[in-house]
Amino acid sequence: MRNTFVERLRHGCDLTDDDESRLLEAVAEPVSVGVQEVLIREGADPQFVHVVLDGFACRYKRLEDGTRQIIGYLLPGDMCDLHVSILGEIDHTIGTLQPCSIARLAAQTVEDLVDRSPRIRRALWWATLVDVSTCREWITSMGRRPADRQLAHLLCELLFRYQAVGLATDNSYNLFLTQTEFSDTLGMSTVHANRSFKLLREDGYIRVNSKVITITNLEGLMKFSGFSPNYLHLRKQEKSKPN
Amino acid sequence: MRNTFVERLRHGCDLTDDDESRLLEAVAEPVSVGVQEVLIREGADPQFVHVVLDGFACRYKRLEDGTRQIIGYLLPGDMCDLHVSILGEIDHTIGTLQPCSIARLAAQTVEDLVDRSPRIRRALWWATLVDVSTCREWITSMGRRPADRQLAHLLCELLFRYQAVGLATDNSYNLFLTQTEFSDTLGMSTVHANRSFKLLREDGYIRVNSKVITITNLEGLMKFSGFSPNYLHLRKQEKSKPN
DNA sequence: CGGCATTTTGACAATCGTCAATCAGTGTGG
DNA sequence: CCACACTGATTGACGATTGTCAAAATGCCG
């Protein structure tokens, strides 16, 4: 049975079969959540750790003038803030951008997982650190890359993250984001996001067909955007079996 | 004896006297580091956890075209990446912007601290989470605030962070950053950073005198930039003694 | 005083945002 | 099947913000 949560955590640490069954058990009863629903609202004091098993969610902040800034994506396999309880109050909102299958873990469940397996502990730590690392790369992108390269960079990131949980093959994946959502992520207007897409299409980097994006020139797109997957800290792809 | 590290961690958890002496002992032998020196270089595999006791350091990435993006500040009391060893390789550089007094803790020392006191464990976790939270606020600022408000927001952040470790009184603090460093932080040109400074001065929000900035209208500056200190998750200032 | 880094300014160009209209895709009801 | 409504994508025209280049002013330090 494939499980995106387990599949993702494998990148953080070698898990034993025992670890994997514990993790599977912990997320065994996911709930379905519709699109555009709020999982955790800014200012609230969250009770559960959420794991996105399937679908697409994001963190965002809304500013005084009503504009929105998306500050992170939650893809299948990702979990929200292991230890938010320490901060007391969450300072942003987490909401779905696609219908999701989500497991809610009680704080105690997480503590048990962490206490009983040093490997799980390590894997969850790894996930937290990758979160920070990704934020820092986003800052770099927003600060120093022009719009088209910034978009290119994000499209590369999504590809690698999807591949990490087995949801992208052959350089293509489902584009679950509207251009407005892209612009809220990249900090630009929708019109400009649209123009950047156009440019990437015209330069032969990508092709978009009914919500599926295919990166037709990955090497070129990576070079164009200065993308290196190092900040995602993923395990290298297994080489084809030695014999 | 005042110690910025302890003073900062008090915001994360109530520490006992015993906790505090352990922390003090751990950072008892700091080294002096000059300006513009690298503490941890991108791609390296760091051996120590660094604690900045005094001075000013930052994390940054350098892009292909030579430009630099600063992705975080390390003020007195801040520590660098508790558990970097889990990621194997650090994906950015940490360097000083001012002469610093820095304690280098062996991984084992940190583990001992964490193992022996649940309060210290909690306080260090808190520091990590505040790091992420700050990154997310920076993303929001870069994405959705125009240059002048972005600068205003950063100046507010610095004030609150300095106050949190007792290094700012009466809304003024040492401005240890050149305008070039500000522009590398905010993702804009130095010329534009300069213009934003000018605007804040002309609008009576700030006054700068030989490397000391005074925020002359804090309430106004906070409102102008949409700043709320909530994302820093600091403990509220103690009220003046009840009697 | 003389060097040097930093700040400041102006002129101009490039990038990006806003507004408004059109186009395309999808689902609904008749 | 088609008309209709609705959302999202696309485009053009124009204005605002920001970057680049170059020069001058300021401040600091030996």
Helix residue ranges per DSSP H, B88-117 = 107-116
The reported pLDDT for the residue numbered A176 is 86
pLDDT tens digits for B124-160? 989 999 999 999 999 999 999 999 999 999 999 999 9
Spatial distance between the Cα atoms of B121 and B123, rounded to a whole number of angstroms: 5
Spatial distance between the Cα atoms of A7 and A103, rounded to a whole number of angstroms: 15
Q: Return phi, psi of residue B195, to 5°.
A: -65, -35
Question: Count of A–B CB contacts within 8 Å?
Answer: 120
Shortest alpha-carbon distance between residue B31 and chain A (Å): 27
- Mean pLDDT value of segment A101-118: 92
Contacts of B159 (CB under 8 A, 6+ apart): B168, B171, B173, B215, B218
Residue B227 φ/ψ region, left for φ over 0, alpha for ψ in the -120 to 50 degree band, beta for the rest: beta
Spatial distance between the Cα atoms of A4 and A26, rounded to a whole number of angstroms: 13
Task: Say if residues A27 and A5 touch (Cβ distance below 8 Å).
Answer: yes
Q: Which two tokens stand for residue B220?
A: 């106004």
Which residues 193-212 in chain B have a CB closer than 7 A to strand C? Answer: 194-195, 197-198, 208
Point out which residues pair with A52 in neighbouring strands.
Answer: A102
Spatial distance between the Cα atoms of A53 and A75, rounded to a whole number of angstroms: 8
Spatial distance between the Cα atoms of B103 and B30, rounded to a whole number of angstroms: 4
DSSP code of B43?
T
Q: What percentage of chain B carries pLDDT values higher than 90? A: 80
A189: which nucleotide lies closest, measuring CA to C1'? C17
pLDDT tens digits for A65-75? 999 999 999 99
Q: What is the CA radius of gyration of chain A?
A: 18
CB contact under 8 A, A144 and B67: yes
Task: State whether residue B106 is helix, strand or coil.
Answer: strand
Q: Which two tokens stand for residue A217?
A: 């020139």
What's the predicted TM-score (pTM) here? 0.95
Q: Return phi, psi of residue A150, to 5°.
A: -65, -45
Whether A136 contacts chain B with CB within 8 A: yes
Whether A229 contacts chain B with CB within 8 A: no
C-alpha pair distances (Å), B85 with each of B9, B33, B89 = 22, 23, 7
Q: What percentage of chain A carries pLDDT values higher than 70? A: 96
Whether A199 contacts chain B with CB within 8 A: no
Spatial distance between the Cα atoms of A80 and A93, rounded to a whole number of angstroms: 11
* Distance from the Cα of residue A9 to its chain's centroid: 13
Please list every residue in chain B whose beta carbon sits closer than 8 Å to the beta carbon of residue A145.
Answer: 63
Q: How confident is the model at residue B242 (pLDDT cuts 50, 70, 90)?
A: very low
Tell me whether strands B172-174 and B57-62 are parallel, antiparallel or unpaired.
unpaired
Name which of B65, B68, B124, B136 to mutate to probe chain A: the one with the most chain A Cβ atoms within 10 A of its Cβ: B136
Residue A239 pLDDT greater than 50, yes or no: no
pLDDT tens digits for B155-176? 999 999 999 999 998 899 998 8
Residue A2 pLDDT greater than 70, yes or no: yes
Residue A84 pLDDT greater than 80, yes or no: no
Please list every residue in chain A whose beta carbon sits closer than 8 Å to the beta carbon of residue B67.
Answer: 144
* Distance from the Cα of residue B210 to its chain's centroid: 22
- Mean pLDDT value of segment B200-211: 93
Contacts of B170 (CB under 8 A, 6+ apart): B214
